[in-house]
Structure 1
Amino acid sequence: MGNEELEDYQALTFLTKKEIIRIQRTFQSFCPEEKDYREEKLTSKQMCSWPELKVNPFRDRICKVFSCDGTFSFEDVLGMASIFSDRASPRLKAEYAFYIYDLNEDGFIDKEDLQSIIRRLLNTEYLKKEDLIALTTRILGEADLIQDNMLSLAEFEHAMSKSPDFLHSFRIRF
């Protein structure tokens, strides 16, 4: 990658040159040696095997949200990494978190989404069904401003703006 191209990527993302180079090396390691990485695409399965995503309980959703066709170009990966960067805006992070957590893709985070999110995050072996329902009800009670038993993007953004840990937890260091 040339210096001019590197500077262009840096200008278009929230990533540093060092991060872009590290992502390029990892991306290139998945490409056949004789191929130009800029013309290659990785599958969602390959992306989910990246060390940074492998342990994330939402890796399948992350890959789905950041790829419209199940494949990732180098620029797609840069875009994804940019959102998870420390330098991305809180509003942008909240928007993408909403899309990731809207598991049934109905444009809202509802009770079923919340229960699935909690199951992914916690060891549900020790979580009783009534505790899961109580936790879901409490979350909706605090964040559901119009009390329709689901969170819109605006309600989710509002809730995340009040959560001091959100910005630190919604990051992946590529």
Structure 2
Amino acid sequence: MATGSPGHITCWALGAVVLLQHREGGVGMGQCLRHQMHWEDLEEYQALTFLTRNEILCIHDTFLKLCPPGKHYKEATLTTNQVSSLPALRVNPFRDRICKVFSHNDVFSFEDVLGMASVFSEQACPSLKIEYAFRIYDFNENGFIDDEDLQKVVLRLLNSDDVSEDLLTDVTNHVLSESDLDNDNMLSFSEFEHAMAKSPDFMNSFRIHFWGF
């Protein structure tokens, strides 16, 4: 990994996740049984995401289990700690960044959770995945992935703070030499997008299953 490209960095970062077995869920007419969700809402969520009806209902079940009792799902929110502790995220070295990018004011509505699950689903389009991958790796949120961001990525992937400065420098320099097309020592979104488009494993690695538990 010390000599990996940004594409390989992304694959490693989001490959170490717990994949949860998909569970089928029934759907009725009018209001979905057990789900407090109207049929029209379910159809709208399906139209606006890359998720199936069963996936949406399974995510909804999990959301309700974490919400205060009696709270309607459209009014309830989850904390970032609750979401980052989900089995799908708790082993991911970038769980805090994922939560930061997909939450609003450090809380998750049901639609925020759906949006996150949709981006990480198998059906999501490459351009959407690349957009969110860039935001996740942009730690300092300056609109670029610079050497500071790259070093943080490497430290998290190695799961250690005891990494030599020489190794960090070598890795970041190698990544930049491969992907920094204008030689300004940082990756713009277009440069990152170009690098990800050349990575054959990116789409398979940028996946997390948030349903089925």
TM-score scaled by length of structure 2: 0.78
Q: How many residues align?
A: 174
> Of residues 10, 32, 36 in structure 1, which corresponds to 2:46?
10
CA distance in 2, matches of 1:2, 1:35: 16
The 5 Å alignment of 1:1-174 reads 1-124=37-160, 127-174=163-210
CA distance in 2, matches of 1:89, 1:27: 25
Flag structure 2 segments of 5+ consecutive residues without an equivalent: 1-36
Q: Offset of 1:3 from its aligned partner?
A: 2.6
Flag structure 1 segments of 5+ consecutive residues without an equivalent: none
Q: Offset of 1:36 from its aligned partner?
A: 1.0
Equivalent position amino acid for 1:91 in 2: S
Equivalent position amino acid for 1:157 in 2: E
Q: Which has the higher contact order (CA 8 A, sep 6+)?
A: 2
Deviations 1:50-85 (A, max 9, x none): 111111111111111112311111011101111111
Assess if the C-alpha contact under 8 Å between 2:151 and 2:172 holds in 1: yes
Q: Offset of 1:129 from its aligned partner?
A: 2.4
SS at match of 1:51: coil
* Residue range with higher mean Cα deviation, 115-124 or 97-106: 115-124
TM-score scaled by length of structure 1: 0.95
Q: Relative to total residues, which structure has the larger helix share, 1 or 2?
A: 1
Q: Offset of 1:158 from its aligned partner?
A: 0.5
| Backbone CA RMSD of aligned residues | 1.3
Q: Offset of 1:114 from its aligned partner?
A: 0.3
